[in-house]
Structure 1
């Protein structure tokens, strides 16, 4: 199956620092095989993107991954300094954004399922 570059990039951002979501979680949520996600991560590593393993602690990261993370986050650190933000404040903002819609998607899916079921029941009568 072909996925758009934007979709791949969005999933890579989820599995790489600072998010570090597990590949198995992303695979379940998106319906993509774990191997496909690993292949994308490995390709990103080869292209110079910092992509340490999800379970790896920073002390176990390769020198290359450590350097790339420093380079990639330098502008973010500068932005946070200029705005007077702390890491915890940024995490709080990120979490609020990630949970902004709550269970809207699940509720919509449940309602669609109920609608289909009621339509099916109506056809049977």
Structure 2
């Protein structure tokens, strides 16, 4: 592991990115497992995860979770207690707030768009009734307009034949 350390005792950026990439989903690697395998303290790995989340490093384990992966995490953690969730998050290199946010997003995704089919049917019937009334009124007004136009044409013809009735 000494080749991954700089002269000042810190790990190289490449090594940190390698470790963080191994935590990206889908993976079975855990922070604890990588810590034992690589001889790096768990707290150091968690610090790297926090740092990349704060600085927006391009190797973000949390930021690259797909929607499907997030959903699987929500399913896996749905029955866990707070302590079990904390342990799960430590194993996966996640933050509890992220998992709770994903859970809320999943719950809101289905709740806001669902409408009662009976209510939709009633609304459809009401809209059809309104449409029928409007079409009926439109036909009545079209007939009245056609009648007014016909009367104007007849009036002009009568004036042309008999002259203006005001001249008398």
Same topology, TM > 0.5:
no
Which bracket does the TM-score occupy, shorter chain normalised?
A: 0.3 to 0.5
Larger relative contact order (CA 8 Å, sep ≥ 6): 2
Higher Rg: 2
TM-score with structure 1 setting the length: 0.41
TM-score with structure 2 setting the length: 0.31
